[in-house]
């Protein structure tokens, strides 16, 4: 067995997964080879150091933060541990603002209609719908002004 | 899946909040450590570990039960790590942000209390400093490994999972896991020689 072949077996050997025949071959090589023995020792120390890395504890409020994240993304559907008053009801606020804007728009339109100037006389009779209903429309046949007759005849009294 | 896992998954599917809290309590340390060792930065690790659990909550209905629940959870964590690592690499994050200072973390635990890590097991101050340097070196060298190798080293040699479980998490054939892991170990051994 050469160095390279021996090194290829190191991981399996340390994991205890090398078949017994190959274990014997490797051990025979290690008995004669200082280089491979040193390499195997270094690998053992490396693995031991990795296994010795103690767990780093997560922050104490880790679970609460995860729940908050889910609650935020589900818009309060899950983990609704806060009182409703603590949560800003943006959907209701938006709805009320839209309704207020619509009402204001309608009121503005109404105000514009009320201050609209009367239509000029040349407009057709059907147009002046904006005249107040209390003023009766003058009949079209009524004379604008009585003029005295010049032929001396008297009109009916 | 064992009975306990089965019951937990059933409750998670019903969006049982108590079950979700139990799941976080059970797996938060493993997931946080896996993510921390993959990224080397506690703030990124905290954010990503939270994201892992949010994904579990959202995707629990897609868990078919072909593997252990913990395997599925680890798979989500590893995939998240790979995506985040790529995202950070594109922004040259690792060139500008150093890995966490192990010494600082050793002096103060995340919760303000003492931590129990490699260096904390050493009683003599000079040996403790050596331990700190070793842990820093290990973290640096792990970060320097190829992406696939990094995940394998952490899952096997830090977290202590079986080859079968690692193959299921990474969805690689067991033989591929073993050969890649062997290469990763030999690389780490060469790079850590001066510290050991």
The alpha carbon of residue A2 is apart from the nearest alpha carbon of chain B, in Å, by 17
A151 has pLDDT over 90: no
Q: What is the mean pLDDT of chain A?
A: 80
Contact B117 A56 (CB under 8 A): yes
Using an 8 Å CB-CB cutoff, list chain A residues near B49.
58, 62
The alpha carbon of residue A58 is apart from the nearest alpha carbon of chain B, in Å, by 6
**Per-residue CA distances from A28 to A9, A39, B189 (Å):** 13, 15, 23
Give exposure, B99-108, as e/b (b: 16+ Cβ within 10 Å): ebebeebbee
Chain A residue with Cα closest to B37: A56
The angle subtended at Cα B150 by Cα B148 and Cα B151, nearest 5°, is 70
* Residue tagged 């995860």 (tokens): A66
Asked casually if ipTM beats, i.e. exceeds, 0.90, the reply is no
The alpha carbon of residue B94 is apart from the nearest alpha carbon of chain A, in Å, by 21
Categorize the per-residue pLDDT at B155 as very low, low, confident or very high, splitting at 50, 70 and 90: very high
List pLDDT tens digits, range A72-116: 888 888 887 655 555 677 888 999 999 999 999 999 999 888 876
Contact B20 A67 (CB under 8 A): yes
A4 touches chain B (CB under 8 A): no
């Amino acid at each position: 067995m050469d160095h390279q072949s021996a090194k290829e077996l190191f991981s399996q050997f340390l994991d205890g997964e090398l078949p017994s025949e190959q274990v014997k071959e490797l051990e025979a090589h290690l008995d004669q080879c200082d280089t491979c023995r040193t390499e195997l020792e270094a690998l053992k120390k490396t693995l031991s150091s990795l296994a010795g890395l103690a767990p780093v504890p997560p922050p104490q409020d880790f679970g609460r933060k995860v729940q908050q994240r889910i609650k935020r993304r589900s818009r309060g559907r899950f983990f609704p541990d806060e009182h409703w008053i603590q949560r800003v009801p943006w959907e209701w606020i938006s709805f009320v603002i839209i309704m207020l804007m619509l009402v204001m728009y309608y009121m503005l339109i109404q105000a514009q209609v009320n201050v609209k100037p009367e239509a000029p006389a040349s407009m057709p009779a059907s147009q002046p719908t904006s005249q107040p209903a209390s003023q009766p429309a003058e009949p079209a046949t009524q004379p604008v002004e009585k003029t005295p007759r010049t032929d001396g005849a008297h009109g009916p009294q | 899946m064992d009975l306990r896992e089965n019951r937990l998954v059933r409750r998670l599917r019903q969006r049982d909040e108590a079950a979700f809290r139990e799941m976080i309590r059970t797996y938060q340390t493993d997931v946080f450590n896996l993510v921390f060792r993959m990224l080397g930065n506690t703030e990124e690790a905290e954010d990503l570990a939270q994201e892992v659990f949010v994904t579990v909550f959202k995707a629990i209905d897609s868990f078919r039960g072909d593997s252990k629940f913990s395997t599925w959870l680890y798979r989500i964590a590893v995939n998240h790590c790979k995506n985040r690592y790529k995202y950070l690499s594109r922004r040259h994050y690792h060139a500008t942000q150093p890995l966490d200072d192990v010494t600082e973390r050793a002096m103060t635990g995340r919760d303000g209390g003492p931590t129990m890590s490699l260096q904390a097991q050493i009683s003599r101050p000079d040996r403790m400093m050596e331990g700190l340097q070793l842990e820093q070196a290990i973290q640096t060298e792990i970060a320097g490994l190829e992406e696939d190798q990094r995940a394998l080293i952490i899952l096997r040699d830090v977290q202590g999972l079986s080859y079968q479980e690692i193959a299921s998490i990474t969805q690689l054939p067991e033989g591929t896991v073993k050969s890649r892991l062997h290469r990763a170990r030999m690389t780490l051994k060469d790079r850590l020689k001066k510290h050991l």
